[in-house]
Amino acid sequence: MENKEFVFIISHSYDKIEKAAAALQLATNMAAFDAKIDFFFMNEGVHLARKGFAESVTWQKGYSPVAELMKSLREDFGANFYVCASCVKPYGLEGVELIEGAAVKPGSYLGELLMKRQGLTF
């Protein structure tokens, strides 16, 4: 496959943590095969960017721990985590400390990423 650049759009966290965990697990597996991976968190998914949230997830089943996956993606594979700017206020992220490497970006930035990469939505 020629294009090995992907953006994972994650719109779930505590509401359907298995979906988020599945996306992170798949992304880690793909990154191990030299794919460039970044994330765009939207809707409930923005909580994954909240510092300490991933470490608090103890109710997921069937996947590696969310916090470990996110740490590996960032530290081992250089993944970036983007938070939908339009979701910050409605989902209570104003003034909240975000995880290392997270950046708030507008939806137009996601559009720009999708013009260059393949998108996967979870």
Q: How far apart are CA 8 and CA 15, in angstroms?
A: 18
Using alpha carbons only, give the angle 34, 40, 41 rounded to the nearest 5 degrees: 130
Provide the pairing of β-strand 80-84 with 118-121: unpaired
Q: Which residue has the higher pLDDT, 61 or 29?
A: 29
Distances (CA, A) of 99 to 8, 49, 88, 119: 17, 5, 14, 22
Return the structure tokens found at 81: 């985590």
pTM over 0.85: yes
Is residue 58 very low, low, confident or very high in pLDDT (cuts 50, 70, 90)? confident
CATH superfamily placement of domain 5-121: DsrEFH-like (3.40.1260.10)
Provide the pairing of β-strand 102-105 with 5-10: unpaired
Domain assignments of the chain as residue spans, ordered by start = 5-121
